[in-house]
Amino acid sequence: MDTAATDAYLDRIGAGRPDSPDADALRALHLSHLRTVPFENLSIHLGEEIVLAEQPVLDKIVGARRGGFCYELNGAFAMLLGALGYEVELLSARVFGAEGRLGIPYDHLALRVQTPDGPWLADVGFGRHSHLPLRWDSRAEQTDPGGVFRIEETETGDLDVLRDGSPQYRLEQRPRAYADFEVGCWWNQTSPTSHFTQSLVCSRLTENGRITLSGRTLVTTAVDGAREERQVGADEVLAAYREHFGIALDREPVVGEVPPPGVRAQGRP
């Protein structure tokens, strides 16, 4: 990313250029990203191709002011952090599903970020998760506005990330290239057993909690857990995407209305 692209990205998330690539700046960037760039899978149900490469991802998230899922959000965030002087590694994870079953390899993309005071786990692409980066080298409980988190070592050398005592995903510690995630990205947007192909989600952290549009159901969750839910009319859906997420669409995404898009990877961040 050049200076202009970096400045445009910082403007997209409402953040200033940090004086140095330290932990405080990482925390601020992480929170700003979660509050401005939604976690969404709309491309899958609009028939849009997801391309794992620097320019297409930046064009979507920064230029078109869209969101994405983990491969796009954490991939783009890694590009931004690298441009700001951070040392960033892309890591593969498998998400825990029903009855504790692990998902496919490359099911999730997360980041290990080095700062002068140590390494951090950054993740702006997992929906409901920690609001701030987690200390990578700590095995103690870490209290975050999103819950109580803990990173545990497994017998095989991987790491389990837990929220409020419940395993979220299992991280491999070996760094990966962006192109390595092509197979996971393809599976998650095409498999009939992927929850991304079975449902619609667009969700963003707010200062007061979280707002989510799932199909035509608008859910507002407060910091204390209080939840309000209402149905959005067919004539209100596109306005709701604009008002709550800053996403301008010319048609409503509908589950199963278009065939799953393909995916190709071009280069690395």
Q: Which residues are marked as active site?
A: 70, 108, 123
Tell me, what DSSP letter sits at residue 155? T
Could you tell me the two tokens for 143? Answer: 């209290």
Please give the single-letter amino acid code of residue 261. Answer: P
Residues whose CB is less than 8 angstroms from the CB of residue 2 and which lie 6 or more positions away in sequence, other chains included: none
Rounded Cα distance between 174 and 92, Å, is 8
Could you tell me the two tokens for 212? Answer: 């989510």
Rounded Cα distance between 2 and 15, Å, is 17
By the 8 A CB rule, do 125 and 132 touch? no
% helix, strand, coil for the chain, step of 5: 30, 30, 40
With CA atoms as reference, report the closest residue to 127 among 88, 173, 74, 179: 74
With CA atoms as reference, report the closest residue to 174 among 75, 53, 89, 269: 89
